[in-house]
Structure 1
Amino acid sequence: MSHDPWRPEPEEAAVPRATAAPESARTPDGGEAYEELSARIRQLSLDRRRLHRLLDAVVALSADRDTRTVLRHLVQAGTDLVDARYGALGVLGEGGEIIDLITVGVDGAEQLLSASGLPQSHGLLGSLIEEPRPLRIDRIAADPRSVGFPDGHPVMTTLLGVPLTVRDTVYGNLYLADKKDGTPFADADEALLTALASAASVSIENSRLYGRLKRSAEQFQRRLLPVLPDLSPLLVEARYEPASELPHLGGDWYDAFGLPDGAVLVVVGDVTGHDVEAAPLMGQIRNMLRALAFDRCGPPSLIVDRLDRALAAFGDPPAATLVLARIEWIPDAGYALRWTNAGHPPPLLITPDGAVRCLAPEAHGIPVGVEPGLPRPDHEHPLPPDSTLLLFTDGLIERRDRDIDAGLRDLADHAAALAGAPLDALCDALLGRQDGYDDDVALLALRMPRLAR
């Protein structure tokens, strides 16, 4: 068969010849050259793997916003990168003292710190604090600066430490001890750990700024919410919990106050959106509702209808969901709830025996700010003595991985089990059902007096 110059060679022939050792390197005289070439290739492969691991560690650090979580990831990444048995990060205070210690690989670290306290800023650790530059020790016990280990501390032989600098300030020091293969720390280990610490400083600064921004946003949001008055004989508790992930300003709010005719007006609402504009709009809507409620003590539907028409005066009317209700005393009948719902999650009523009723009539209104003039129905329901009324925003029952109806059932089940709990404990328990929330949460709880007035 004639050879076709355009046909590729068989797979066997396509193997690069560079994978085989050069002829000169395979001769006795070329043995050293071949070994040197092989060592360089192995080192290049090792350096490449280390670079990938370093980049992966930096990406992982950048994904977290909580400062302590970032620091723990940093210690874990450092020990993994250089295959060290032990890792620790000492966070420094303004005076250079160690104010926090995060460890990896030390069994019973919490009990050890509880018994011996945080390390003091002397010895080898102190030398790194005094001179913030990489420190490498091949034999800890032989170093004159070593002061030994406290009781119960694992004995360590080698040490590698690098400073952690954030905006030209030494934030802390990262320490590694004892490589798993028993060899001392090398120049490559020091360079790798220094690069990791340098990259981590950006993540630490970002997490600190994130925490500061989140605290400021939360404080601003809380200042927009009212201090609830004494509504005796009714008991009232309120809670606000910001979303866990983003330091945004939300539009969730609650309010409760007495009216001139003796009724108590309560409201929980949520302005659409999570941006800088949502929180001020929430404050405006809350104040408008107060003014409208005091102007004429009419039914809730009338107050919300007036609010809807007032919002139409905005060039781009904000939309909001809310439940507005009057708690009224009816002679010979007791307390009753009269409310209207504008596209909001329904209230829950918990009776003393643990029964829970979802106050969700078929007819309800649309959110305010959408289409003024549509009818808004009022609803009524008795409030038995010692019963508890819960009003809340959707952040309490909504999660990305769960249907909102399932969240409402879960809330009702928890509330039923807490029917006899003090009102403040009930609120804390309902908010404590999970570690964090995808959205802001506003919760308002009212308990009726035990005996009729």
Structure 2
Amino acid sequence: MEREEPSQPSLHVPDLRSAQDADLERIGETFQVLARAQDRLQGLLDAVLAISRELELPAVLHRIVTTAMELVDARYGALGVLDEASEQLGQFIPAGLSERERADLAGVELPRGRGVLGHLMRHPEPLRVEDVPSHPASAGFPPGHPHMRTLLGVAISVRGEIFGDLYLSERRDGRPFDRADEDIVVALAGAAGIAIENARLFDQVRAGAEQFQRLLLPTLPDLRPFTGAAVYRPASAPAHLGGDWYDAVLLPDRVCAAVIGDVVGHDLRAAAAMAATRNMLRALLFDRRTPPSAVLTQLDHTLHAMTENPVTTACLARIEPVGDDWRLHWSTAGHVPPLLIAPDGRAEYLHAEPGVPLGVDTAQRRPDHTRPLAAGATVVFFTDGLIEHPAHPIDVGLRALAELATAYAGLPLDDLVQALADHHPSDGHDDMAVLALRTPARAQSPAAVPCC
């Protein structure tokens, strides 16, 4: 009888476990790669959103550099913008330099596109360099320049034309830039081109809106013997058209009439309403010269009968001769009070009972007010965009404006209105207009006052 040989197992248990461990390790590595890819994708999306939120071109360009640095964890970054001839860099926006590094580079001319930077300008393909000094196109670094060994360069195009180049240097982990870094920066560059084009369009629209607004506002006529000055500043919002306006005219009865107003709204309708209101009011001033409240009432009725104008605030004033001095005679339609600056520089608001705005109730009468004016006194009319700020009550803005008026009271009138507009206490969310009139040294005889 033959003895049976024991059967041999086909697979050893230790080998099975090793294979399983290897598979788990590969799966884990795959998940890590996917997680890193997902993190990078999310980072790219966040970067694109961050760039898209900016509207001002300088802010867009700086944001492009900083977001690219964050995406690849680079210590340094820069954006070189080509000049109009596309022959060299006309603008260079660096980021990542410490205060000490900036101080070391003080007085050094910004790069114009020589060396490796120029190579990327001439060959706008993604460029990865592991050792910048040994690159054939390297021209060396200027004195005080921080040491940079690695470089990742990507061109940025706008409407199919090269706008500039994005440069990144020195990954914080010390490793050279890899293909994954290149791919994500190339993707960012595509979004950057769109953001740059949007910023350019924003600048064009804003410039056009501001020019349109200014064309609707008058150039102050010769107001002698009075002195007049005015300034208009648009809001910071994109494509903002405001309803602020001002006007001043000499009337046949030796009076200087002034008005400032604000049509509710920030669009073409508000701008058109502003122009119509100003033109109607100028005609009424010559036809119905006094009192100001009657002129405002007639204006309200005319606007109500002829147009569908939005609500409008206004302050209408007359500076009238009284002997050798002057008198301010005014009425308001829901507008902020005028500011009186005495010859000695003291400033005070002419608070008085306000009337209802235009376009609210044509049956409501508006009161008239008077105040003596000394020779050399200045009356400042302004819109609320000069003083409003969401962080504090309007009284705070009014006090701040009065302090500014006192500080700059000694300036020529043109400089005074510019200073008030430059240093205004508002947040700039609304457009603003300032009109100032200064009484002459003394009231003049009728023969000396120019007529209309």
Task: Indicate whether the TM-score tops 0.5.
Answer: yes
Residues 400 and 438 of structure 1 are in contact (CA less than 8 Å); yes or no, is this contact kept in structure 2? no
Verify: 1:262 aligned to 2:243, yes or no.
Answer: no
Verify: 1:356 aligned to 2:366, yes or no.
Answer: no
Cα RMSD after superposing both structures: 2.1
Counterpart position of 2:163: 171
Q: Where do 4+ consecutive residues of structure 1 move more than 6 Å?
A: 23-26, 109-114
- Counterpart-to-counterpart distance in 2, 1:95 and 1:25: 69
Counterpart position of 2:387: 397
Structure 2 SS opposite 1:116: coil
Greater shift after overlay, 392-401 or 101-110?
101-110
Q: CA deviation at 1:331?
A: 1.0
Query: What amino acid is the match of 2:409?
Result: A
Query: What amino acid is the match of 1:232?
Result: R
- Counterpart-to-counterpart distance in 2, 1:408 and 1:25: 85
Q: CA deviation at 1:294?
A: 1.2
Verify: 1:223 aligned to 2:215, yes or no.
Answer: yes
Counterpart position of 2:329: 338
Alignment partner of 1:419 out of 390, 409, 413:
409
Cα deviation, 1:293-338, whole Å, max 9, x if unaligned, reads: 1123222112111111111223524321100101111114x01110
Cα deviation, 1:389-414, whole Å, max 9, x if unaligned, reads: 11011101112222222221221122
Cα deviation, 1:114-140, whole Å, max 9, x if unaligned, reads: 633232233211121122221111111
Q: CA deviation at 1:63?
A: 1.1
Q: 1:113 to 1:309 in 2, by over 3 A?
A: farther
Alignment partner of 1:143 out of 128, 135, 143:
135
Counterpart position of 1:12: none
Q: Report the TM-score, using the length of structure 1 for normalisation.
A: 0.90
Unaligned runs of 5+ in 1: 1-22
Q: CA deviation at 1:159?
A: 0.4
Verify: 1:89 aligned to 2:79, yes or no.
Answer: yes
Counterpart position of 2:286: 294
Counterpart position of 1:367: 357
Structure 1 SS opposite 2:380: strand
Residues 414 and 430 of structure 1 are in contact (CA less than 8 Å); yes or no, is this contact kept in structure 2? yes
Residues 398 and 404 of structure 1 are in contact (CA less than 8 Å); yes or no, is this contact kept in structure 2? yes
Verify: 1:313 aligned to 2:341, yes or no.
Answer: no
Query: What amino acid is the match of 1:275?
Result: D
Q: CA deviation at 1:31?
A: 4.6
Q: 1:38 to 1:343 in 2, by over 3 A?
A: same
Counterpart position of 1:271: 263
Alignment partner of 2:368 out of 375, 378, 385:
378
- Counterpart-to-counterpart distance in 1, 2:16 and 2:172: 35
Residues 354 and 419 of structure 1 are in contact (CA less than 8 Å); yes or no, is this contact kept in structure 2? yes
Counterpart position of 1:445: 436
| 1:38-53 alignment runs, 5 A limit | 38-53=28-43
Residues 104 and 145 of structure 2 are in contact (CA less than 8 Å); yes or no, is this contact kept in structure 1? yes
Cα deviation, 1:98-152, whole Å, max 9, x if unaligned, reads: 1111111124677677633232233211121122221111111111111111122
Q: 1:26 to 1:278 in 2, by over 3 A?
A: farther
Residues 321 and 443 of structure 2 are in contact (CA less than 8 Å); yes or no, is this contact kept in structure 1? no
Q: Report the TM-score, using the length of structure 2 for normalisation.
A: 0.90
Verify: 1:76 aligned to 2:66, yes or no.
Answer: yes
How many residue pairs get matched?
429
Residues 292 and 307 of structure 1 are in contact (CA less than 8 Å); yes or no, is this contact kept in structure 2? yes
Cα deviation, 1:177-228, whole Å, max 9, x if unaligned, reads: 1111110001111111111111122221111111110000000000111111
Cα deviation, 1:218-276, whole Å, max 9, x if unaligned, reads: 00000111111222232211110111123221110011111111100101001111111
- Counterpart-to-counterpart distance in 1, 2:226 and 2:264: 31
- Counterpart-to-counterpart distance in 2, 1:121 and 1:428: 41
- Counterpart-to-counterpart distance in 2, 1:276 and 1:37: 61
Counterpart position of 2:224: 232
| 1:125-144 alignment runs, 5 A limit | 125-144=117-136
Q: 1:26 to 1:301 in 2, by over 3 A?
A: farther
Query: What amino acid is the match of 1:354?
Result: G
Greater shift after overlay, 237-246 or 349-358?
349-358
Residues 305 and 372 of structure 1 are in contact (CA less than 8 Å); yes or no, is this contact kept in structure 2? yes
Query: What amino acid is the match of 2:114?
Result: H
- Counterpart-to-counterpart distance in 1, 2:136 and 2:236: 48
Q: 1:381 to 1:372 in 2, by over 3 A?
A: same
| 1:175-194 alignment runs, 5 A limit | 175-194=167-186
Unaligned runs of 5+ in 2: 1-12, 445-452
Verify: 1:65 aligned to 2:55, yes or no.
Answer: yes
Counterpart position of 2:449: none
Q: CA deviation at 1:450?
A: 4.1
Identical residues among aligned pairs (%): 47
Greater shift after overlay, 165-174 or 413-422?
413-422
Q: CA deviation at 1:30?
A: 4.6
- Counterpart-to-counterpart distance in 2, 1:206 and 1:321: 35
